Amino acid sequence: MSRAIWASVSGLDNHQTWMDVLGNNIANVNTAGYKDGRYEFKDILSQSIQGAAPAVQGGLGGTNPEQIGLGTTTGAVTAITTQGSLQPTNVPTDIAITGNGYYIVSDGTNQHFTRDSVFQIDGAGNIVNSATGLHLQGVVADQAGNLQFNRGLQNLSIPQTANTANNTTAFDIFGNLDARSVNPVNQQVTVLDSLGQQHTVVLTLSPNGVGSGNWNVTATSPDAQGTITVNNGPLTFNSTGQLTSNGTLNLTFSNGNPWFIPGTTTGSNATQSAVNLVMNDGAVGSLTQFALQSSLNSQAAPSNPNGVGNSAAYLKSFSVDGTGVIHGQYGNGTSRILGQVELATFANPSGLQRIGQNDYDLSANSGQANISLPGSGLSGSIAQGNIETSNVDLANELAQVILAERGFSANSRMITTSDEMLQDVVSMKR
C-alpha cells in the first residue's frame, strides 16, 4: 500500500506539472509566433517480484515477469513547431514566415532566433523586434542596390537618406522623318547630370538636300557651358526608308563640368557621361524616312531602363517580397534594393532552447543553424503585412485541462483510499 501512496504522489506531482505546461500554453494563446508545448509522461522503474521464465520443451509453458510500477515522471515537454495562422495587419514591418525558417536577430554580441514577426523601424532606421529591440539580420545592399553577400550577416536598416542621383546615359529615338522635308526637325531630350539636375538638349535633324536620304544632326542646350558634339552622324536612309547608317548617335560634352545650374549662368560641378541615342531598338520602333509627316519620339530604352538616369530623392515607402528582398520606393519614382532578410532552419527545431521574449538559442540537440534565403529549401517565404499567431489550439488545451484535473483527482483519491486501507490494518489490533 505504501507503494500505491508513493506512486500516486508522483502522479499528483506530474499532473500538476502537466497543468503548468497547459497553463503556459493558454497564457500564450495570443503571443505572436508562440509554439505550443506538449507534456508527455513516462513511468518510473518497476519493482520485479518474479522474473520471466522460458517455456520448457515437453513441460511447462513460459511465464511473464511480475512487476509493480513505482509511479510516473516527466517524459518530455516538446515544442510543437507547426505553422501558426497568419493574421493580416497591413503594417509593412509585420513580416510573417510561411514555412520552417526562423528570423536571425542580434543584440550586438550574440545571435538569437525567433518566429515573432512584429518588427519596427527605430529612430536610427534599424529594423528591430518591437518587443526586444533586437536587430533583424540579413544581407545589406550598397548604394547602387547590389546585395553584398560577401559581408555575411549584417543588421538590416531602412536608410532615410536621399537616393543617389544618376546621370543620363541612353535614350531610344524612333519615328519618321519626312523624305520631302526641306526644313529641320527638332526633338527635345531631357538629360540628367551627376547631381540629378535636369537639362534640355535640343537635337536638330537637318536634311542634306531634299530627297537625298541624308540628315545632319546637331545638339544644343541653353545650360551647356561648352559644346555638345554628335558622333556617328550623319544619318542615311535607303530607297525603302530604312536607316542604313550607324544606329546609335553619341553625344559628348566639351568640358569636364559641362553644365550651368539650370536657368542661370553659374557653373555647376556636375559631370555628364556620354549619352547614346539608339534609333533602331526593335522593342519600341526604329527611325525611318518616308514621304510622311515628320514625327519623332524618345523614351527610356527597354533594354536599359536605368539609362535615362534619375534625380536624387528621399525614401517614400518600402516593401518586402516573398524572397525577403527589401525594396525602397523613392519620391522620384525609382526603386532600389535595400537588403534581404535571411532565415535559419534546424534539423530539430523542437530542440531549440527557449530564452524568453519569443526568442530561442541553440542547444546540444537542435543542430546548427542552416542559413538560407527565403523561398529556397525548407526555410519558407515572407508574407509582408501579416503576423504569425500562436499555434496553440485552445479547444484542445481545455480538453487536456479536464484530463489533467481528472488525473490529479484520481491520484488524490488513490492516496485517500490507501490511507483508509492502512487505517483498517492498524485498527485490526484493537
Residues 341, 324: contact at Cβ < 8 Å? yes
> Which residues, including other chains, have CB under 8 Å from residue 49's CB and lie 6 or more apart?
66, 67, 68
- What is the distance of C-alpha 309 from the center of its chain? 28
Rounded to whole angstroms, the Cα distance separating 31 from 49 reads: 50
Residue 1 is predicted with a pLDDT of 55
Q: Are residues 218 and 272 in the same domain?
A: yes
Q: Are residues 251 and 336 in the same domain?
A: no
> 6 in helix, strand or coil?
helix
Establish if 267 belongs to a structural domain.
Answer: yes
Establish if 226 belongs to a structural domain.
Answer: yes
Domain range for 184 is 170-308
Establish if 58 belongs to a structural domain.
Answer: no
Q: Are residues 422 and 380 in the same domain?
A: no
Residue 143 is predicted with a pLDDT of 82
Residues 78, 351: contact at Cβ < 8 Å? no
Residues 306, 333: contact at Cβ < 8 Å? no
Residue 377 is predicted with a pLDDT of 80
Q: What angle do CA 187, 191, 192 make, to 5 degrees?
A: 165
Residue 430 is predicted with a pLDDT of 62
Residue 71 is predicted with a pLDDT of 83
Residue written as grid cell 526603386 = 335
Establish if 324 belongs to a structural domain.
Answer: yes
Q: Are residues 159 and 179 in the same domain?
A: no
Q: Whole-structure pTM over 0.75, yes or no?
A: no
DSSP E strand boundaries for 300-369: 315-320, 325-330, 335-341, 343-345, 353-356, 359-361
Q: Are residues 146 and 174 in the same domain?
A: no
Longest Cα–Cα distance in the chain: 141
Q: Are residues 71 and 102 in the same domain?
A: no
Q: Are residues 302 and 336 in the same domain?
A: no
Query: Final residue of a domain: which of 267, 289, 308?
Result: 308
Rounded to whole angstroms, the Cα distance separating 391 from 38 reads: 12
Establish if 263 belongs to a structural domain.
Answer: yes
Q: Are residues 174 and 158 in the same domain?
A: no
Structural domain count of the chain:
3
Q: Are residues 298 and 213 in the same domain?
A: yes
Positions in the chain short of pLDDT 70: 1, 429-430
Q: Are residues 292 and 209 in the same domain?
A: yes
Rounded to whole angstroms, the Cα distance separating 213 from 330 reads: 45
Residues 188, 200: contact at Cβ < 8 Å? yes
At 301, which CATH number?
Answer: 2.60.98
Residue 380 is predicted with a pLDDT of 93
